Amino acid sequence: MRSLLSILAAGLLLTILFSLPGESGGPWPLLPREQVITRQQPDATSDSRTRRLYQWKNSRNETIQTRFEVSEEVLEEVWSNYGLSRGMTHIRYFKKQGFIITRNILMVDYPGIYQRNLARVDDFARDLYRTGKLQGEDRILPEFLRFVQQIEYRLPPMYMRGKKIMEFFPPLICLEQGYGDCDSKVILLADLVSTLDGGRNQFAIVILNIYGKPHMLLAVKADPLVGMTAINIAGHGVFLPIETSVPGYYPGFISQMNREWLMDENTIIQLLN
């Protein structure tokens, strides 16, 4: 996502709010940072389905196994609608293939990718809810966040399968490959949560410019509790930042460095839904 630095903020103004920590440092303690997901290599079976077994820890520190399964036909459909092949230089291809142009900069169409992949992750989101032993809808976001945080953090390539993919995996490809970087994991989490909650949670993406390198956070509309960091988006309300890249953070809790860069004038906000 190195080409994101010139994105317009689309007129969204933001104010960073910091709540004072309570005696316990906030209502949700930081998660153990050493938890990293265990994944098996994908199994391409004779019935043309790809399967991957994810082993992860839920909030009760139970080891959970959730199987991802997708047909080769669906994967081919995803690839056919994402990435620019050689010769796709006309602007008419960009939106269809998952990209937009802003200030003559080619970038991933994150809201479009989010919308078009909701139905595609539905089956896996339901399996994740069932195998994760979630207790109530209010646990969907924090538990799904734990799962996504434990997926290996690794930068996708710039080119794959003969296409320019801009170092980003759509949700199904992220699950099929078993890794992703910040923006791949942000859109995956937003889709997994939204497919089960019917879109009741309003999400935005937050792009930080950290020493010239972009880093993406997810943000969810919610009232902050003691100890949380919050973002007031003018005309849209208060959002809590969410770190998907690594284990250790609940909604509203991010690193001190990211808190500082949130206040930078180059920080970019874009609503997803």
How many domains, the chain?
1
Is the pLDDT at 115 greater than 70? The verdict is yes
Number of neighbours of residue 75 by Cβ within 10 angstroms: 17
Listed in sequence order, the DSSP H helices in 117-254 are 122-131, 140-149, 171-177, 182-197
Is the pLDDT at 62 greater than 90? The verdict is yes
Nearest partner of 78 among 200, 153, 173, judged by Cα: 173
Q: According to the model, what pLDDT value does residue 98 have?
A: 86
Mean pLDDT of the chain: 83
User: Which residues, 6+ apart, have CB-to-CB distance to 5 below 8 Å?
Assistant: 209, 212, 214, 266
Q: What is the C-alpha radius of gyration for the chain, rounded to an integer number of angstroms?
A: 18
Q: What residue numbers bound the domain in which 247 lies? A: 2-271
Q: What is the pLDDT of residues 9-57, one digit of tens each?
A: 333 445 555 443 332 233 333 333 334 444 455 555 545 888 999 999 9
In a 10 Å sphere around its CB, with 0-12 CB exposed, 13-18 middle and 19+ buried, how is residue 252 labelled?
A: buried
Q: According to the model, what pLDDT value does residue 52 have?
A: 95
Q: According to the model, what pLDDT value does residue 1 have?
A: 58
Q: Are the CB atoms for 227 and 6 separated by under 8 Å? A: no
Largest CA distance in the chain: 59
Confidence class for position 90, pLDDT limits 50, 70, 90 = low
Q: Kindly report which listed range (43-52, 149-158, 206-215) carries the lowest average pLDDT score.
A: 43-52
Q: According to the model, what pLDDT value does residue 31 have?
A: 35
